[in-house]
């Protein structure tokens, strides 16, 4: 990806930290947690502090440059956003495989929120469980 162009396209300032984060993430197609990401960012840009990276991750997610999923035991995972349009991910507790879900629960809730005058600014949607492969495996063990 052309990192500078993607940042500018979203009216984001091109900073060394953002370049480093996106460079690290663009090297893999899998979700990576913030701590591992931070370690790799340090290799590209020594001296970066964790809170700066964390803050930038938030910004990049809000600008649709990154996908984020939360795990039930805490610790968010990030990757470069490759899907078009609004979507969510579910993650398998067994193998860590992720599946893209086109459905958004906000579509059904939005009207109810409007009724009570609540304006949602952002949301997360999390489902935990096992993928088909892991489910079959555990069934076989019984």
Q: Give residues in contact with Zn ion (CB under 5 A).
A: 67, 83, 92, 94-95, 97, 104, 106, 131, 134
Q: Say if residues 78 and 67 touch (Cβ distance below 8 Å).
A: yes
* Helix 50-62 vs helix 34-44: crossing angle, to nearest 10: 110
User: CB of 100: closest distance to Zn ion in angstroms?
Assistant: 6
Q: Say if residues 138 and 100 touch (Cβ distance below 8 Å).
A: no
Cα(31)–Cα(91) distance, integer angstroms: 10
User: CB of 77: closest distance to Zn ion in angstroms?
Assistant: 11
User: CB of 79: closest distance to Zn ion in angstroms?
Assistant: 7
Taking the alpha carbons at both ends of the chain, their separation in whole angstroms is: 46
Q: Computed from CA positions of residues 137, 104, 75, 36, in that sequence, does the dihedral angle turn out positive or negative?
A: positive
Closest to Zn ion by CB, 53 or 67: 67
User: CB of 42: closest distance to Zn ion in angstroms?
Assistant: 25
Closest to Zn ion by CB, 29 or 43: 29
Closest to Zn ion by CB, 7 or 131: 131
Closest to Zn ion by CB, 24 or 77: 77
């Amino acid at each position: 990806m052309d990192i500078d162009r993607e940042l500018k396209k979203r009216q984001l300032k091109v900073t060394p930290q953002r370049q480093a984060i996106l460079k690290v993430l663009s090297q893999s197609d899998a979700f990576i947690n913030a701590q591992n990401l931070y370690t790799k960012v340090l290799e590209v840009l020594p001296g970066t502090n964790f809170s700066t990276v964390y803050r930038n991750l938030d910004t990049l997610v809000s600008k649709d440059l990154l996908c984020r999923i939360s795990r039930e035991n805490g610790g968010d995972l990030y990757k470069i956003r490759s899907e078009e349009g609004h979507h969510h991910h579910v993650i398998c507790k067994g193998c860590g495989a992720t599946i893209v879900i086109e459905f958004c629960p906000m579509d059904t809730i939005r009207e109810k929120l409007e009724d009570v005058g609540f304006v949602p600014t952002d949301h997360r949607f999390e489902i935990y469980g096992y993928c088909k492969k892991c489910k079959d495996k555990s069934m076989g063990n019984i």
